[in-house]
Amino acid sequence: MVTSTFLGTSGLRITNLIFGNWLTHANQITDDLATASVHAALDAGITTFDTADVYANTKAESVLGRALAGQRRESLELFTKVFWPTGPGGPNDSGLSRKHIMESIAGSLKRLGTDYVDLYQAHRWDDATPIEETMIAFADVVRQGKALYIGVSEWTADQIRLGVRYAKELGFSMISNQPQYSALWRVIEAQVIPTSIAEGVSQIVWSPMAQGVLSGKYLPGHPVPADSRAAQVKPGESGIRDFLTDDLLTRVQRLRPLAGDLGLTLPQFAIAWVLQNPGVAGAIVGASRPEQVSQNAKASGVAIPPDVMAAVDDILGDVVVRDPSQTAARAPHRATWHS
């Protein structure tokens, strides 16, 4: 069974494995398979679920809501997000304006079939809306009982510090940041994590397996599997293909004995690695089949010895991306979308 932990300095406990439905629900798998995967998560002891209004243009929230129907609401922690374009993509269908936040939370609650979410997250920083407007809207969402806590995703250290300051002034709790983080992508370590720890903010990380690269299924000198995520990426797009060099893939295969010595598969080892790091409260894992959930759950509670953590650093070496400026560099600039 998975373990639980506090989120930030709040009294909210979450499971350290979080079921996410970014690419799967209403997209890659049938609703029946999605429901079976959600139930497998519940059977494994996972009670924390993460989604977003933008996933499958709102449809993923609906699938998750139906899959959780009949469960005791108080026994679940439901997370969703707001920022990216939804609906027909009009000028007010995105961002962190008061209008978009208020309309988006209403839609998310309806689709999820609940009166409130435990955590409502700013899916990115919005450079087109004053931070005061955004945080006042979040304060009102909390006061109206539509969300219990507020979080953010992919914010820089300075943005997190500013957000926490406004949250305290307005009387609500901003307790989490949701960044990409894995043994290969460590851009949050130098600035975001130390700042977050100082401000009482936890990390709930996405892509702990580096979009599947750390699963070991991509082999050096071999074409990518036809049914893999990398096979779906269009030529010229960044992301997973940036990791698919023979040097990097060879290094990933060298991690396999480390995982085996701990009785873990490579995917389990990758998840356990992120959970071992300071400031990380949980890792978001998806699944296209119920058995994947059951396998991933075995990563919870695993203690990786310090010498093995050091060996991971030695093996991966300079293929690891550590540049803290990558968080800001990859942020969207909404101010230019409707100029």
Active site residue 55: yes
Handedness of CA 113, 69, 5, 184 (dihedral sign): negative
Give me the residue label for tokens 């997000």: 81
Q: How far apart are CA 123 and CA 121, in angstroms?
A: 6
Give me the residue label for tokens 């030529």: 235
Q: How far is CA 270 from the centre of its chain?
A: 15
Q: Are strands 13-15 and 4-6 parallel, antiparallel or unpaired?
A: antiparallel
Phi-psi region of 188 (alpha: psi -120 to 50; beta: other; left: phi over 0): alpha
Sequence-ordered list of residues with C-beta below 8 angstroms from that of 292, at least 6 positions apart, any chain? 37
Q: What is the DSSP string of 183-213?
A: SSB-TTTTTHHHHHHHHT-EEEEB-TTGGGG
Please provide residue 116's backbone torsions phi and psi, each rounded to the nearest 5 degrees.
Answer: -155, 160
CA distances to 161, 178, 264 from 164, in Å: 5, 15, 38
- Catalytic positions are 55
